[in-house]
Amino acid sequence: MTDHDTDRRSDAQSAHGRDAVHHAAVETALAALDLDTKAGLLSGQDAWTLPAIPEIGLRSLVMSDGPVGVRGQEWSAADPSVALPSPTALAATWDPQLARTAGHLLAQEARRKGVHVLLAPTVNLHRSPLGGRHFECYSEDPHLTGVIGAGYVRGVQEGGVGTTVKHFVGNDAETDRLTVDNRIAPRPLHELYLAPFEHIVENARPWGIMTAYNQVNGATMTEHHHLVNEVLRGSWGFDGVNVSDWTAARDTVRALNGGLDVAMPGPRTVFGDRLAAAVRAGEVTESAVDAAVRRVLLLAARTGCLEGVPAAVDPARVPQGIDGRAVAREIARSSFVLLRNEPVADGRPVLPADPAALRTVAVIGAAARDARVLGGGSATVFPEAVVAPLEGLRAALPEGVTLRYAVGAEPRTRVPHARTGFALRTRYLAADGRVLAETPQSDGKVQLIGSYPEGVGRAELAAVELTGTFTPQATGRHVLAVSGTGALRLTVAGQVHFDADCAPDGSDPFEAFMHPAEQRVEVPLTAGEQVDVTLRFVPRSLGLGDDMDALNFSLGHAEPQQAPDAEIEEAVRTAAGADLAVVVVATTEEVESEGFDRADLRLPGRQDELVARVAAANPRTVVVVNSGSPVELPWREQVPAVLLSWFPGQEAGAALADVLLGAAEPGGRLPTTWPARLEDAPVTRVTPEGGQLDYTEGLFIGYRAWERAAAAPAYPFGHGLGYTDWEYESLDTTPDSVRVRLRNTGQRAGREVVQIYLAPADSGPAGAAPTDRDAAWPARRLAGFAAVRAAPGESVEAEIALPRRMFEIWDETAGARRLIAGDYTVEAAHSVADRRLTAEITVG
């Protein structure tokens, strides 16, 4: 037995010991509570916390988003957090250990911010590339999603912090997410959408789960007795707490009976005093309330919030001293997917670029200067500093190399927040004009959710002003943009330029809050002449919980601009003749974010044209794609290299320089198929009809669907190039595992992700019902994977378990799993489309 095994065994023993202690402590605490206090504990006391109950030594439990960082109770740049790469990026590492390290770091961040429960990970599936929160989920494959999610949960909880695996279940798109009824047949529900949750519950024992906004097969998820009480708790043995998505709980009785424990956010929810009243009216039993309270108290005990009870993880043993920037950089470079890397004039692939051979590097693109490092919505955190690609390259290139920059094409349709040249602060005003509080502003965005600054009472607050000065750098017509749902008045140099009441746009109140429409004015200004600027805002209620402290409005600014054609011309001139041209293209928050689905997969603005023009001017053009989910790359065959950086987190530029200049290999493999064109994608419907969204494709999403589609994707599931080559030498199977031997045949050390697919032999597995064989068993499924590292010339072995579960289907008639006995082909592959070795096995 290794030291590691001994450690694991003693950890497991002490976890069991603690479970017993926790359960006893929970019973004692519960017995001391009256009905009103118990009902109150199941309801948020504000946006992010549960009430403390000092009589039983219970501290207030604090929750926070998640998943790429820990925002804390402030929704504001004043409380910065480490920002890791997007979940799609984490999945692209195919590295559960790295996901675990991410979890350790996030737990450290949570402890620093007094957070006990992280609202993450998001393990819904990439059903359609149009899904708005695609960037926040891991993969189109349930196994990869489950393995990465389990690594993440394990890491966070080893740090003593709880997780809520979300959104249980079927929140795979955003359109009408609060009401949509997703109609999902039992097989795909169990084999695809529930599978990651099941894997995580079995392998990482999460302390919490978050139930989704949507309905599944006619019942809303915060009231889903069958899936929560029977499947999650019953069949899988989940013993954690069930927290509603924010405002998702709608009915006191149905929610409690449907297995919901905590309704968020507070203070007005369907639980609390309404729950106590329902018990008194005989509509629900007190023992059902007790069961929910027990689970909350258990969470408190586990996270160290119950005095006198040892936390699940001994605080002395939590991973500490983790360097967040280093983890962010490591995940980023391990996640970058090199989609293409063709030879150029010297006969060698364009990447990695040899820094010693470079004299001039052209860097093009708005996102090269302002990287889009994370996806929008509740996943937003505020990093202290971001290394943009331009900065990262500047720092990494040897002295003497000239770096030239041009924006090329501005993809943002919204004006960026006012920053350069502005000196701003926020003033909170009472109706009589008294200043209740004044806070500094780093830019023109005023956003908070949770609590107003000290001295600001909700009842007294009448208006908020963003105020200060602006010193223009250029003479001309500057664009100023205001946004916010409510009354907005913009004054520049004593003159009112905008004064109107702005109504919500669309029907999603979160969207109206998070992304209010923007109104622009042009103001002629002179370089160097300072002017006073004030934007006054009187928010309007959005029915989001009027008792919540929340604020979101902004002032944007853009310099007098060149005509778009001139910007492209300048980029072409900048790139021509450079030894390397790096074009960074990106999606924007307007096209890829929480709260809405994407309408198309195009890069916004004129970025496609920009790439084509730059590539024509410079044969050594590398395109970096900065998006959280698939985009169409119509020029992909015209450029020698395409590198996908996802939303790379705060160390974006440092990691990019590592990979472009060869200090690190791009480690990523696609966790999801990239279509060439949206119309080729097998599943594109995300808009409900008559309130319902039918998952008519059944089991066929992702590569399962592409393999029977007429069109080929641009890049298949699992694809990604490194900087070396691999030869797969042998494949040996046992009934429950696979061993693959492979050799690094290239010139440098590298890492290869060995993927194992399982395909039923020609006629389908013997014993499969005709429907299983003909329609419902996909051509292959990912059954396991492992990464190996080797020096040039070295041969290494990967051993990969082949669990029996991989040969099972969900039998709809029996309502249980069923082994499909018969012949299978085991395939060792570099990607789903690049299968290198096969072996036949029979399962009986």
Q: What is the DSSP string of 502-544?
A: EPP-SS-HHHHHHS--EEEEEEEE-TT--EEEEEEEEE---SS
245 is catalytic: yes
Nearer to ligand BGC by Cβ, of 450 and 486: the residue is 450
Q: Whose CB is nearest to ligand BGC?
A: 378
Shortest separation between residue 177's beta carbon and ligand BGC, angstroms: 8
Using CB under 6 A, which of 181, 191, 223, 245 touches ligand BGC? 245
β-pairing, 692-694 vs 181-183, is parallel
Q: Helices 324-335 and 652-660: crossing angle, nearest 10°?
A: 50
Burial class (CB in 10 A: 0-12, 13-18, 19+), 10: exposed
Using CB under 6 A, which of 68, 119, 312, 488 touches ligand BGC? 119
Nearer to ligand BGC by Cβ, of 246 and 336: the residue is 246
SS3 791: coil
Shortest separation between residue 63's beta carbon and ligand BGC, angstroms: 8
Nearer to ligand BGC by Cβ, of 40 and 66: the residue is 66
Shortest separation between residue 182's beta carbon and ligand BGC, angstroms: 15
Give the binding-site size for ligand BGC (rule: CB under 6 A): 8
Shortest separation between residue 550's beta carbon and ligand BGC, angstroms: 11
Using CB under 6 A, which of 135, 238, 510, 695 touches ligand BGC? 510
Nearer to ligand BGC by Cβ, of 380 and 645: the residue is 380
Range list of β-strands (E), 703-793? 726-734, 737-744, 750-760, 781-790
Shortest separation between residue 247's beta carbon and ligand BGC, angstroms: 8
Nearer to ligand BGC by Cβ, of 22 and 166: the residue is 166
Site residues for ligand BGC, 373-432, by CB under 6 A, read 378
Query: Residue 300: which residues within 8 A CB-CB, separation 6 or more?
Result: 58, 59, 61, 116, 306
- Of 116, 159, 102, 156, the closest CA to residue 317 belongs to 159
Report the Cα 492 to chain-centroid distance in Å. Answer: 39
- Of 609, 608, 485, 508, the closest CA to residue 554 belongs to 485
- CA–CA separation, 638 and 589 (whole Å): 27
Give just the sign of the alpha carbon dihedral 4, 10, 15, 16: positive
Shortest separation between residue 511's beta carbon and ligand BGC, angstroms: 10
- CA–CA separation, 254 and 251 (whole Å): 6
Looking at residue 734, the DSSP 8-state letter turns out to be: E
SS3 349: strand
Tokens of 398: 């040897």
Label each residue of 412-457 as H, E or C: CCCCCECCCCEEEEEEEEECCCCEEEEEEECCCEEEEEECCCCCCC
Shortest separation between residue 93's beta carbon and ligand BGC, angstroms: 22
Which residue out of 95, 141, 181, 245 is catalytically annotated?
245
- Using CB under 6 A as the binding rule, whether residue 176 contacts ligand BGC is answered as no
Angstrom CA distances, 131 to 303, 593, 691, stand at 33, 9, 17
- CA–CA separation, 17 and 10 (whole Å): 10
- Which amino acid does the sequence have at 19? D
- CA–CA separation, 361 and 357 (whole Å): 11
Nearer to ligand BGC by Cβ, of 378 and 618: the residue is 378
- Using CB under 6 A as the binding rule, whether residue 515 contacts ligand BGC is answered as no
Cβ density class 370-409: b for 16+ within 10 Å, e for less = bbbbbbbbbbbbbbeebbbbbbbbbebbeeebeebbbbbb
Range list of β-strands (E), 57-147? 63-64, 117-118
Shortest separation between residue 266's beta carbon and ligand BGC, angstroms: 13
- CA–CA separation, 172 and 188 (whole Å): 13
Nearer to ligand BGC by Cβ, of 152 and 703: the residue is 152
Q: What is the DSSP string of 735-758?
A: TTEEEEEEEE-SSS-EEEEEEEEE
Tokens of 603: 């890069």
**Per-residue x/- mask for ligand BGC, residues 465 to 504, rule CB under 6 A?**
----------------------------------------
Burial class (CB in 10 A: 0-12, 13-18, 19+), 360: middle
Shortest separation between residue 595's beta carbon and ligand BGC, angstroms: 8
Tokens of 758: 């399982």
**Per-residue x/- mask for ligand BGC, residues 559 to 588, rule CB under 6 A?**
------------------------------
Shortest separation between residue 166's beta carbon and ligand BGC, angstroms: 6
Nearer to ligand BGC by Cβ, of 245 and 632: the residue is 245
Nearer to ligand BGC by Cβ, of 133 and 205: the residue is 133
Shortest separation between residue 119's beta carbon and ligand BGC, angstroms: 4
Shortest separation between residue 64's beta carbon and ligand BGC, angstroms: 8
- Using CB under 6 A as the binding rule, whether residue 75 contacts ligand BGC is answered as no
- Using CB under 6 A as the binding rule, whether residue 220 contacts ligand BGC is answered as no
Nearer to ligand BGC by Cβ, of 322 and 544: the residue is 544
Nearer to ligand BGC by Cβ, of 443 and 511: the residue is 511
**Count of residues making up the chain:** 844
Nearer to ligand BGC by Cβ, of 449 and 603: the residue is 449
Nearer to ligand BGC by Cβ, of 137 and 397: the residue is 137
- Using CB under 6 A as the binding rule, whether residue 246 contacts ligand BGC is answered as yes
- Using CB under 6 A as the binding rule, whether residue 65 contacts ligand BGC is answered as yes
For the sheet with 215-216, list strands across it. 219-220, 215-216, 181-183, 692-694
Point out which residues pair with 781 in neighbouring strands. 758
Query: Residue 655: which residues within 8 A CB-CB, separation 6 or more?
Result: 328, 329, 332, 333, 336, 392, 645, 648, 664
Q: Which residue has the tokens 């669990």?
A: 803
Shortest separation between residue 65's beta carbon and ligand BGC, angstroms: 5
Site residues for ligand BGC, 658-677, by CB under 6 A, read none
- Using CB under 6 A as the binding rule, whether residue 166 contacts ligand BGC is answered as yes
Query: Residue 277: which residues within 8 A CB-CB, separation 6 or more?
Result: none
Binding site for ligand BGC (CB under 6 A): 65-66, 119, 166, 245-246, 378, 510
Active site residues: 245
